[in-house]
Amino acid sequence: MPITDLLERNSKLYGHEVALVEIDPAVTERQRVTWKEYELVQPTRTEFYRREITWSVFDEKANRVANLLLSLGIQRGQKCAILLMNCLEWLPIYFGILKAGAIAVPLNFRYTSDEIEYCVKKADADILFYGPEFIGRVEDIIDHLDKDHHLFFVGDSCPSYADDYYRQVSNCSSIAPKILIEDKDKAAIYFSSGTTGMPKAILHNHLALMQSAQMEAMHHATTKNDVFLCIPPLYHTGAKMHWFGSLYTGSRAVLLKGNSPSAIMNAVSNEGCTIVWLLVPWAQDLLIALDSGEIKLEDYRTSQWRLMHIGAQPVPPSLIRHWFQYFPNHQYDTNYGLSESTGPGCVHLGMENVNKVGAIGIPGYGWETKIVDENGKKVKQGEVGELCVKGPGVMLEYYKDPEATKEVLKKGWLFTGDMAQQDEDGFIFLVDRKKDVIISGGENLYPVQIEAFISAMPKVHDVAVIGLPDKRLGEIATAIIQIKDGMECTEDEINQFCLDLPRYKRPRKIIFADVPRNATGKIEKPKLRERYGSSRIVEMENKG
């Protein structure tokens, strides 16, 4: 069953019910508007605080996009790229591409013009849908694109070199095209985070997308009555596949264009959100705002909020303990995954296993796991090795990169590059990225473990640990520490706090600075290594 069938089913069963809500906290005037009303008046999009569409309108919009692509001669298997900030148009365009039998290619909104050009060409994309935020970057690469490349501008005041998306799509039929789509058909190309050189193009089929939808609904017991708050960018598998739980159950979702504590709490309160997926920095910011009194729980309606879950990065247990001080009745889950495994959930903690906070969990629905040594043999329980996963959500390949594919896909197993260990109860603990391991004086140091320890210090807002060159030890653990706003902290205080760590794990260098994170919340360690001179890793990443 292809993922598009779920949208058509929801349109038939729940056609008049709201499917998606878009909220822009940057807009001060609160207005309620449906998409049909929006199209009648054609205002500037930024005038609206809140927009919504029903399941039937969602499906109709996707059909119009599909018919637009077919009218241009787009055939099965051709690629169409999406370069948009989160908005109501995003998902109908994505599903329209799939309904046409084409392959959707979401692009990171943080890409530079060079990266956009690289990804468009790498994926062989013939169509690019892009928004007003990207006009300058697209203009930089127009002359480098094939002359037959089609550009659709999704916004007001369409540039002369592009086609007006709203005008073009409004002239297309809202009836579903008669395109047979099967589970084995290729559906989407997602790009890796690009932490080792240019990002890799990850190809998935419809079976993988459907599996992620079923898994999300099962893992979090999603029902028709739930309301999911989606904050991370939709170009990333994490946000998309968590939203797939809403698609699978026909429940409402809210796209929040902002992640400040007040914006999150207002959305939860005003929209009646029951499930919220947060990244670690956002959860930290919210807790800081509660601690400082910047926001007060009694000002919001939160009794319906049942689940907070986190993914995309290791989660400090201290953060979750802090969270339960304010939200003692919340369910909690940790989700682990990669774009190569159709996003989050191939390993997850499970809402019933809150006593194991700190672990990434156990194999997700439909998945198998194993931890292996450098020769691919299973390690003994408790030993550190590379985590491998196997299941219906494993990618087909790195598109146009057979050598890279062979490195990570072996007999159906995806070698994740993450070092992990399993406890006596079968729970998997993430130790670190394979390439992030610090070898200091012959000892293997795992930055994630050190980061988790330091993050429990009350004055610390964020922390990243990298290895820096050292003549005697080879490398030394260096902690880049971001202190909470309004607080002061000294190196001596950090060193004193770290006395409870084994001596060999203690950071030998402390740097007070901001910790950069990407749009999905992951620490941008390549930037830190380049900035502070971790020559061995920089050389490895340049080769990658």
In DSSP notation, 41-107 reads H---GGG-SEEEEEHHHHHHHHHHHHHHHHHTT--TT-EEEEE--S-TTHHHHHHHHHHTT-EEEE-
Going from the C-alpha of 60 to that of each of 8, 33, 235, 527, the distances in angstroms are 9, 18, 22, 43
- Residue 388 three-state SS: strand
pLDDT at 38: 41
pLDDT at 32: 47
- Measured on CA atoms in the order 203, 204, 206, 209, is the torsion positive or negative? negative
Beta carbons within 8 Å of 436's beta carbon, 6+ residues apart: 446, 447, 448, 466, 525, 537
Say how far apart CA 154 and CA 129 lie, in whole Å.
7
The kind and range of the H/E element at 390 are: strand 385-390
Contact 236, 88 (CB under 8 A): no
Phi first, then psi: give them for residue 334, nearest 5 degrees. -110, 135
Contact 110, 83 (CB under 8 A): no
**Amino acid identity at 293:** G
Tens-digit pLDDT profile for residues 373-422:
989 999 999 998 999 999 999 999 999 999 999 999 999 999 998 889 99
Considering the domain delimited by 4-205, tell me its CATH architecture. 3-Layer(aba) Sandwich (3.40)
Q: Would you tell me how many other CB atoms lie within 10 Å of the CB of residue 379? A: 16
Beta carbons within 8 Å of 380's beta carbon, 6+ residues apart: none
Q: Which of 270-279, 433-442, 448-457 has the highest mean pLDDT?
A: 270-279
Mean pLDDT computed over 39-51:
54
Q: pLDDT above 70 covers what percent of the chain?
A: 91
Say how far apart CA 520 and CA 194 lie, in whole Å.
12
* In the chain, where the domains are located: 4-205, 437-543
Phi first, then psi: give them for residue 360, nearest 5 degrees. -85, -15
Say how far apart CA 203 and CA 324 lie, in whole Å.
39
**Amino acid identity at 70:** L
Nearest to 295 by CA among 256, 258, 263: 263
Nearest to 485 by CA among 514, 457, 464: 514
Say how far apart CA 164 and CA 156 lie, in whole Å.
8
CATH superfamily of 437-543: ANL, C-terminal domain (3.30.300.30)
Cα maximum dimension of the chain: 71
Name the band, by pLDDT with cuts 50, 70 and 90, for residue 141.
very high
pLDDT at 308: 96
Average pLDDT score over the chain: 88
Say how far apart CA 103 and CA 123 lie, in whole Å.
10
Same fold, 4-205 and 437-543: no
- pLDDT of 36 > 70? The answer is no
